[in-house]
Structure 1
Amino acid sequence: MFQPLNPLTVPIAHTNLIEASAGTGKTWNIAALFTRLIVLEHYRVDKILVVTFTKAATAELKTRLRARLDEALAILKKTPHAAENLDLLEQNCWINGKFEPFRFKLLQQALNQESQARLELRLKAAISEFDNAAIYTIHGFCQRVLQDFAFLCQVPFDIQLDEQSADNQYLTAAQDFWRTQVAPNPQLAALVYRYKLTPQNQLAALKSFLSRPYLPFRQPESTAPYTELWANFQAAWQGISQKIQAIETAFWTIHPDLNGNSYRTDTFRNKFTELLGQPENPNPLILQKILYNSDMSYQPFSAECLQTKVKKGKTPNPKAVAQISELNELTQIVDELIAAEQALLHELARNFTAYLRTQRRELKKHSPQRVFDDLLLDVHAALMENHEYSQTLAHSLAQNWQVALIDEFQDTDPLQYAIFRTAFADTNTPLFLVGDPKQAIYSFRGADIFAYLQAVKDSQQHYTLDTNRRSHRLLINSIGKFFERNQPFALPEIDYVKVNASRDAPDLSPAGRAVQVRWLPNADGLNTDGLVRESAAICAAQIADLLAQSFSGSLKFKDQPLHAGQIAVLVRARKDGAIMQRELKKRNIQSVLLSRESVFAEAEALAVAALLEFMIQPQKTGLLRFVLSGCLFEYDSAALHDLNLNENKLLAWIDSANKAHEIWLQDGIYAALQAFFAQHGVETRLLTQNQERTLTNLHQIMELLAQEDELSHTPTSLLQWLNREIQAASKQKNSHDHHILRLESDEQLVKIVTMHAAKGLQYPIVFCPFLWKASEVSTRTDWHISHERGFAEIISKTQYKQSDDDRENIKLAHLSEDLRLLYVALTRAEERLYLYVSHFQTSEKSDKSNKNQEDNLDLKYKNALAYLLNADEKLSKNATAYEAHWREFLANQTLDETDIEFVVHDDLAFSGSLQTENPPPKPIFHATEFAPRRFQFVQHASFTSLSRQTERAAAELSPMVDADELTMVAPTAPPPDGDSIHAFPQGAAAGVCLHSVLEKLHFRQPASEQIDLIDEKLIYHGFDPEIWREAVVQMCDFARETPLLPRVNLAALNQRNTLSEMNFLLHTDDFRLADIQAWLAAQDLPDEIIQATRHLAFRDVRGYLNGAIDLVAQFQGKTLILDYKSNYLGNSAAAYTPNAMDAAMAEHHYYLQALIYAIAVARYLQSRGVLPEMLSVRYLFLRGLDGISDNGVWAWDIRTADLARWL
């Protein structure tokens, strides 16, 4: 039994389920409970867990909860001695013109418990700690659990979210399954080929089940062995195929006696032609289609059908009937074979899903990478399957969060509910589950209404929010009128809960009728598509009429003229919204279409992807033609033909792409696209043609590309990323919030909103122009989650000869969700609701229905509204009867309680009364000058990338200079001894090996005592320790003992005063090439290096410099910066002279690296207040060290004062 919730008195104990009907202030009550827990119950902010199911809801909750605490503290500060001055306290509890009794009673009770000073201190502490508030999405909560309790959860400590890698792993596993389980089985391989199954489309169809291990596949009914059935089929076909001509002759002899509607001449002539044209081993699916009627409802070649579907008074020849019915014997065999095939495919799907689940579990054991669904699976497994630590984990969670508030609980699933039940309910931790089963509309995202219904059974206390704070009384009651029937949501466990109204009077003046039902008679007999267009036109005219009234001052909302942004049109499908938008535009009414669609699903994304590829590879002129013919340029065939004939124009486009590519490399993708579009006037053309939607999509895509470009993508990898996003959007995968289509203007527009996207929103006036449409069952999946046998299991929606129970179960599930979606739509209105209804049409598409389509499940009701009116399919298809039924339904309303108007739209009413006689004049706009928007491209550079730019510049000059000027060639010399470091291989691998040895070497300990380390590194990098151990040991000892400063070598350094492999990331706005060259020229550097600085060629860095320094050390106030070089300059230490090292430093521009390292170390030390006067840079040429002198050491001492411009 549900009782009204009072957030001030509800016991903070046990499991409490709160049903929050639409508009009853769910978020308000959660905020009230949260405030009470802080103020009265003395919980700390970080001990209250609040979980909701979207990031947007999380942000809203954080704002609301923080505001509640701020308001309470502000009231106390304005009320000195509040405990003795309750009148003033009550007066100060009026905020924004409204008095809130809860706030007053809460503070009054709190002041009875403790002093005002202590209460204020408690609120201040809560506010100051609010950044630590545990307010999460469900995935955020699970991620926090895995991070804080990694050991108890038995997961890696460094979990990383990586959706893309998981997608790739799933695809690889799917392909592995196909290769190992399908390909070796000839019959199965032939079967999947016939049904056009691939690893990719099976993965797409079943992926939603991979993260739901609690869902088993129902075992299909057993059939005869497939091999046996296939042999029977082949034998039957061989026999019947010889008789088809004779059967056809017999058929045409009795055809004049048969019913002409059931046995149309053209249809059966085609059937026999197709039968005669079948190959030796025909496709059973094709044969089945031939042997049944068009909608697969009966077998026209059966003796029973031939004898019953005859003209009156006619009796067909029995011998001919017997001969024709031989085809029906084939039909029975084909049906059995197809049933067996579908059972095999069902088993294939089950094995496929189990294999991928297992592979994913194995991969997670060895990798920290996770996707969002993995977070729930890992926490669930830790609580339910890890028996060694599960109880400890549950109690740890209960101690960490001492009370839990779970919002939007109707969108839960069994995994989520099991987590909350085990962690909180089973540990007797106060748990509040807040939701509304009437608004459970996200089954396509994995939500399971039956998990909520189970929670209802499990909860000790049940509450309801009984006051609607959104709408006025007559509107609330009028909407309730539609849900008066028994089982209004089809499922017996969900009922309509009547709620009170917080206000009687509407805020719209004149109020008008609360619910206005518009009957569309459709006298012209339009089909579904035609009536959609007419409904949209009528709705647009009605909106124009309302706005005209508002302009004339005769229609106001809260004493202000109603504006377009206060009107919403709710649609089921985005395609209907697009039609509605076009009709509004015809009447000069601007609108915005809101949905959860990804911008990458739009045509502009394809155009931009092709343009980026053309910038990268301008020789692909086909890409250019695709771009020019698309939505950005809209070239027609004549313009494209002209481009083909005019080579100069084509070269101009190629030149433009090359320039844009150069800008891309230097300033980022946003600047490149901005320059390209400005050069070709794209934005100007789109604006003059009122293509605001295209322009908005274009800018959104550009900004998303720029954000991704900040991650240091190369042009090719950025294009690959864009193509992946386009592919994901085409498969209707969930979009990131910032990928969702953006509004093209401000809020002063009519809102066209999909019903799913409208959940949680409200609008003064709401139109539902397409409620008359028949329900459209989702075709995204062939699978259904059935609860018909008392537990959840996966069944096929396409199973041949589906059982009546399964058919009813699927029908009931879809009807119930349609009813819940209708409830969401109707309850969005604050003041007035328009419903458009009509009798049901037959579209061209449903005329040719397939046996697997939902239309053939013998639905009693064509849609949710017809169900509520108890108007079955036969009644709702009859225009006169259905209109009368509507009138009878509404005639029973009590006018002082409900306010529903029923109006018939005829042609006269549409053409006259709804037209705006004096439309408001169009405003005159003047362009405002403003600085062009530029996306901030953050550049990441390193010594390697800067030197690479210099090398490219040198390469362009290479035909003009001698090779000896670009490459230093060592003089010819005898080969070195085999046990010497000079004989150690050259190249990158050798250098990395020597660096890795020195990185881990303990310099105070002789290298001969660290043989294991040296051998390990040599082996790891592919060098034989038996050959090179002695040489590397000697090199290490020379490096340890070589003097770097007077009486200072590596062996003398205390390890606590060293930083090995010091990584850095420096922000800089002024690392300019000209400044660097001038600065270096002023330093006391060798002439060769000064000359080399003049050949530096890199772009100025505005962003970040990054790198890693081999070693930074401090010794007696001196700071050393060391870098190890394995360059080969000669076959003995004598070759590493100062001049030779200067030449190497100049050739490879190591002096620039040394400068960057010096700046990084100086900033590091400056930030700690220990900046020295001098930095000693030492480059150790490892092959030239002798351990005695400074041979092989290149030295540069830099005054930190000289680096001031970069510090």
Structure 2
Amino acid sequence: MSMLSVSEFDVIESPLSGTNLIEASAGTGKTYAISIIFLRLIVENNFRIEDILVVTFTIPATMELRLRIRDRLRDAVSVIEDQPIKDKTVTLLMEKYKGDSVVKQRILTSLKSFDQASVYTIHSFCQQMLVDNAFESGSLFSSEIVNDNAFIERGVTDLCRLTLYNTSPALVSYFMENCSVKELIELYKKRPLSPDLRIEPEDSDADIESLERCRTLIVELYAELSDLWKLESGRVADIFCNSKVLKGNIYREDSMDALIEEMNDYISGEIPFAFFDRFYNYTSGKIKDSLKKGCDYPESQVFEICQKIYDANEKYNNAGALMLISIKKRLFDVIDDLVLSSKSQNSKRSFDDLIKDAQRGLNGKSGKLLEEKVRARYKAALIDEFQDTDNLQFDIFSRLFNNEKTILFLIGDPKQAIYRFRGADIFSYMKASQLMKNRYTLAQNWRSRPELIESVNAVFSRCTDPFIFDKIQFYPVRPGEENQGDHFMKRGIPVPPFDIWLSADGAESAGDMLIEKLSSEISLLINRGDDNPYTLGERAITPGDIAVLVRTRKQGIEVRNAFAAYSIPSVSRGMDNVFKSGEAKDLYFIVSAIADPANYNLVKAALSTVAMGGSADLLYGYHRNSSDGKDGFDSVTTRFYNYREQWISGGFLNMITGFLERESVASRLFALNGGERMVTNINHVAEILHDAEHEMDFTPRELVIWFGNTLSNPPDDDGYSMRLERDDDAVNIVTMHACKGLEFPIVYCPFLAHSNDGKGEYVIYHDPSDHDRPVLYLDKNVPDEVKAIKASEDLAENVRLLYVALTRAKSACRVMFAPNKNFGKSAAFHIFVKSAGYDVSGYNRSILAAALRDLHDNSGGRISFSDGTVSEGAAYIAEKHSAEQIAVREFTGEVRSCWKTHSYSAIAHSFAAQVDAEGKDFQSEFHARKGRSEGIFGFASGTRAGLCIHEIFEKTDFTTSDRISVTDRCSEILEKYRFDISSKVHLADMFFNVVNSVLDDSTGLKLSYIDDCSRLTELEFSFPVDLFDSIKFRDIFKGGDLICNKIYNRLAGDHSEPGGMMKGFIDLVFEHNGKFYIADWKSNHLGNSYNDYTRERLTDEMEKHNYFLQYPEMEFSPGIFFDRPDISVLEKLDKYFAGVK
């Protein structure tokens, strides 16, 4: 298809009609242009704000667009009112509307209704379209949006189970040897999201019988070889080592002993399919091909058998590969429905589902009606970042807005289409570009120094086909303003803004030289001192002014380590997956132990983590505390039991927040080198786990399993990229993919000479003979023509990535080349050498140097070139700040919360309570009491013991008289809480004593009268409270009985609290004879005999721990000690909590 003519887009004069494509090169103000188009549509086309749809691809981009659009509207009003503004374009655009009250009112109306502006991400637009038109689209009215990784993993796992469970053992064995569930999950995730996807090879001719026959034959031949080797191993060794009939370059004399030993290991291993790498050297075919001229073939049955095994294994692998292709094809046929069904049952959708549902709805039986309803709503659509589209998205926008009634602008830059690994499809963009009636470019760069703009123009303009595909062209840009940006200067004189350095020829390690050059040069730029000659304009260069762009995580780590040697502060962006960090593994050990604190091995693993400060000495110290090494861990496992209870009752985030605080994790890690990064990673992983628990409704055990699977197979997801650990002044180390949209005064590109072949298990390419249809090629034996197409697409992607890297700088771009043998495959070779007219097929340093020197000579002094020199840098010395400069200002204001959740514990602590008995949960009181009396007094004390007793009463029928069943239940619960089951009899005795005790002499009430239908355990309650005033609250109990007086005396001081919700749990609520009762279990240990549990001792204990404060909290309670408060107190409490004045 012929190229359409391209003209420059004038944001003021270009017509706003029809279908339009705007190619916005780097730094040309794409977002600004969209905001001006939006303003013109309101002013010139008389559109309402809700008539215009703006779609971009990230949430931050939508926020920026909304801000920019609102600013343009406000500026426009200012111009109409004849008020001066800084924006020259808006001033020029609105000049003719000065004093126009109609246009002014239209803009003001837009500002007032700006909340109705449709500025969406692609996913939120699809979601809104589906919800607003649920009947037409056939979608749910409401569904929760989740990450579908867990659903995919579950679906693929189920599919493998269904496929392999009743199949041939030969196929199961081949699958286990050559594939994995993890591989299939990754394959499914990386598939192109296109309804036109073609999967090849089309006919696999899978034959499971052939697979079984070959496997059986190999096993039989292996048995024969094992027997034969015992007889002929000596003769074979003699042939290899002494016969001199084999070519020495293949059968080297110094490697023959090892070759014999490899066969010995293969035979002794008794695993027929554990072939060693040089097994082929034993085959008769290889022996015959390796004979010296004139030498006879040395006969041996070993060689003949090995040849048969080798041939059978070739057939076995071929048959197995075909079967795997069949399984993978079935994956794509079945898994979509499996995953979709699983999500639908839970009313959940992923982000990809929103796009697929929208596209499916538009192509469904009500698709025409859906199109009409969306078109009726929007008169104009502005699609941002369109170069990152794919087939599904393009189909949606084309169906909705590629028509005569709607104004459509597609805005993007195909030269910056670098997200193929996320599913973006440059071929969809190129197809769309040919369908637009008007094609424009933005030709003014507002980012960089004019000299730097001309340098980049020079690099790409001399190339014949810079971006490989003829539908993607380079259009030179010009500066937006004559003197924009700061000069990069040395001793007050501007230096060339574009510099190229080439490592010395014959260097033993070009890579090491490159890193040394990078580190030393940056240290010279940022070092403080009067002798530093480098500046940006008139100011000193700071570390934050500089960015180093890398391609891979490994390169980023190399740079970071080199900077550390020079004491250069640095921060990494977009390099690492947080689940690959050591902190993620630490947190996995910790949450595993919390989920199962009875497992001492898990507890030990958690204690060994850096986060918990564990060491061998600490673990040994725990073991020395007791004979069996277990009781010494009780102080830890007790806390872990408590964390588990928090997890179960309050969720993961509530638990982990308390854990990090109480275990002093942050302070411990901050004291270590790299502590900021460690704390950031732990908090990040904790948030992800919270989201997973919420989205998938995981139990603690299920969340731990998911966590482990995710650690083993970290998803390629933006949400899992490590966050910045610091925001102070530091050199930015950024991946090229993550740098898109960013800008820095000085940019270093040290790894452009490195190639990336796009190697992987599977090939994804676009078939030029089938309208560039996307193809997933599953066979690992890829045809040469497919390899060539794939290589071309990979090179094009890498060139686009190079363009992004070279256009991030505002003042200076420093390119460094340390070429290796694969340089000839790199994008840099294509741009700087081959496409520039140098006829070479691979790397040649002299030609590269000539090409770079030629670029320098023809740049008018804008591009400098140096060949192999490395300046000697010094360690970075940071600027020293005076104490006055970094003094912390004292906060003198008042911060008041208007609402909060209250509880008994919080109130108790707020009134200067002494240690709350339940506050001992983290104080390690879980040890067996020694020297106590027998019976229940000899049982342990502390929180774990309390939880154990609590659960016995919670899970046992009060009405039972079956002592055996109660004893068995006690035994189970004792084991759960890791107590000696010998206490089961004493606990059973205690249970029967309690439930058979008379609670009310007047009625003879006993708990043994209460069946399970008449009781509730752990009843959660909450009720609203007005502003909490401690003085008024205290006065309620003035002049009451003993308990009321205790409460009155305890509530002292002014502790006014905001209103909110009173929340808590009631241990037991039961009904008897039409009355409701409340019971609260207490298991405090006061002594070793009944004499220690008098009413006076109980009263003292309750007062000590502020248990009396639970009394008013549960105002309808029958009281403590079977008392009931005076009716007047109940009425006062009722009115107080109800907010009655």
Alpha carbons 2:566, 2:874 under 8 Å: kept: no
Residues 33-79 of structure 1: per-residue CA shift (max 9 Å, x gap): 11111222221112211111111111111111111112222233344
Match of 2:389 in 1: 412
Change (3 A) 1:622 1:302: closer
Q: Secondary structure at the match of 1:835?
A: strand
Change (3 A) 1:1126 1:745: closer
Change (3 A) 1:129 1:411: same
Match of 1:451 in 2: 428
Change (3 A) 1:835 1:189: same
Match of 1:1144 in 2: 1077
Alpha carbons 1:46, 1:401 under 8 Å: kept: yes
Change (3 A) 1:293 1:371: farther
Alpha carbons 1:22, 1:468 under 8 Å: kept: yes
Match of 1:864 in 2: 827
Change (3 A) 1:678 1:29: same
Alpha carbons 1:73, 1:124 under 8 Å: kept: yes
Match of 2:252 in 1: 264
Alpha carbons 1:612, 1:719 under 8 Å: kept: no
The match for 2:115 among 107, 111, 131 is: 131
The match for 1:180 among 162, 176, 179 is: 162
Q: Secondary structure at the match of 2:754?
A: coil
The match for 1:808 among 788, 795, 808 is: 788
- The 10-residue stretch of structure 1 (516-525 or 349-358) with the greater mean CA deviation from structure 2: 516-525
The match for 1:48 among 21, 44, 52 is: 52
Residues 1130-1166 of structure 1: per-residue CA shift (max 9 Å, x gap): 4xxxxx4xxxx3x6378999x99999999xxxxxxxx
Residues 144-201 of structure 1: per-residue CA shift (max 9 Å, x gap): 11121111111121222233xx544444433432333222111564245443544454
1:656-805 equivalent positions in 2, closer than 5 A: 669=655, 672-673=658-659, 675-678=661-664, 682=668, 685-686=671-672, 689=673, 691-698=675-682, 724=706, 728=710, 731-735=713-717, 740-775=721-756, 777=758, 779=760, 782-790=762-770, 791-796=772-777, 799-805=779-785
Q: Secondary structure at the match of 2:723?
A: coil
Q: Secondary structure at the match of 1:758?
A: coil
Alpha carbons 2:764, 2:775 under 8 Å: kept: yes
Letter in 2 for 1:903: S
Q: Is there any run of 5+ residues in structure 1 with no aligned partner, and where?
A: 80-91, 842-858, 974-981, 993-1062, 1109-1124, 1131-1135, 1159-1176, 1180-1194
The match for 2:503 among 484, 498, 520 is: 520
Change (3 A) 1:920 1:147: closer
Q: Secondary structure at the match of 1:760?
A: coil
The match for 2:32 among 21, 28, 31 is: 28
Distance (Å, rounded) in 2 between the aligned partners of 1:397 and 1:11: 24
Q: CA deviation at 1:885?
A: 2.5
Change (3 A) 1:707 1:625: same
Distance (Å, rounded) in 1 between the aligned partners of 2:565 and 2:39: 50
Match of 1:383 in 2: 362
Match of 1:339 in 2: 318
Letter in 2 for 1:742: R
Letter in 2 for 1:491: F
The match for 1:824 among 793, 804, 827 is: 804
Q: CA deviation at 1:287?
A: 4.6
Q: CA deviation at 1:340?
A: 2.6
Change (3 A) 1:680 1:807: closer
Alpha carbons 1:668, 1:937 under 8 Å: kept: no
Q: Secondary structure at the match of 2:468?
A: coil
Match of 1:203 in 2: 185
The match for 1:885 among 845, 848, 851 is: 848
- The 10-residue stretch of structure 1 (931-940 or 616-625) with the greater mean CA deviation from structure 2: 931-940
Q: Secondary structure at the match of 1:986?
A: helix
Q: Does 1:119 align with 2:96?
A: no
Match of 1:498 in 2: 476
Letter in 2 for 1:986: C
Change (3 A) 1:485 1:23: same
Letter in 2 for 1:158: S
Match of 2:146 in 1: 162
Residues 337-359 of structure 1: per-residue CA shift (max 9 Å, x gap): 32332121111011022211122
Alpha carbons 1:438, 1:494 under 8 Å: kept: yes
Alpha carbons 1:158, 1:368 under 8 Å: kept: yes
Residues 600-641 of structure 1: per-residue CA shift (max 9 Å, x gap): 543223334544555676665655654554434666555654
Residues 872-899 of structure 1: per-residue CA shift (max 9 Å, x gap): 9997986xx4144322343255545463
Q: Is there any run of 5+ residues in structure 2 with no aligned partner, and where?
A: 909-916, 920-942, 954-986, 1083-1107, 1119-1128
Q: Does 1:148 align with 2:81?
A: no
Letter in 2 for 1:829: A
Match of 1:1129 in 2: 1072
Letter in 2 for 1:520: S
Q: CA deviation at 1:417?
A: 0.7
Q: CA deviation at 1:1093?
A: 10
Match of 1:1048 in 2: none
1:1010-1159 equivalent positions in 2, closer than 5 A: 1066=1024, 1070=1028, 1079=1036, 1105=1061, 1129-1130=1072-1073, 1136=1074, 1141=1075, 1144=1077
Q: CA deviation at 1:208?
A: 3.8
Residues 116-135 of structure 1: per-residue CA shift (max 9 Å, x gap): 22222122111111111111
Alpha carbons 1:234, 1:281 under 8 Å: kept: no
Q: Secondary structure at the match of 1:832?
A: strand
Match of 2:819 in 1: 839
The two structures have a TM-score, normalised by structure 1, of 0.71
Q: CA deviation at 1:758?
A: 0.3
Letter in 1 for 2:662: F
Change (3 A) 1:747 1:6: farther
Letter in 1 for 2:776: I
Match of 1:106 in 2: 93
Q: Does 1:393 align with 2:376?
A: no
Letter in 2 for 1:264: R
Residues 742-788 of structure 1: per-residue CA shift (max 9 Å, x gap): 33333422111111110011111111122233326365x54524435
Alpha carbons 1:300, 1:306 under 8 Å: kept: no
Alpha carbons 1:594, 1:757 under 8 Å: kept: yes
Q: Does 1:252 align with 2:252?
A: no
Change (3 A) 1:378 1:1157: farther
Q: CA deviation at 1:18?
A: 1.3
Change (3 A) 1:701 1:896: closer
- The 10-residue stretch of structure 1 (185-194 or 761-770) with the greater mean CA deviation from structure 2: 185-194
Aligned length: 999
Distance (Å, rounded) in 1 between the aligned partners of 2:688 and 2:209: 54
Distance (Å, rounded) in 2 between the aligned partners of 1:1152 and 1:983: 27
Q: Does 1:58 align with 2:62?
A: yes
Distance (Å, rounded) in 2 between the aligned partners of 1:498 and 1:966: 95
Letter in 1 for 2:240: W
- The 10-residue stretch of structure 1 (955-964 or 412-421) with the greater mean CA deviation from structure 2: 955-964
- The 10-residue stretch of structure 1 (813-822 or 672-681) with the greater mean CA deviation from structure 2: 672-681
Distance (Å, rounded) in 2 between the aligned partners of 1:966 and 1:934: 52
Letter in 2 for 1:186: S
Alpha carbons 2:80, 2:97 under 8 Å: kept: no
Distance (Å, rounded) in 1 between the aligned partners of 2:308 and 2:860: 64
Change (3 A) 1:984 1:104: same
- The 10-residue stretch of structure 1 (698-707 or 194-203) with the greater mean CA deviation from structure 2: 698-707
Alpha carbons 2:450, 2:479 under 8 Å: kept: yes
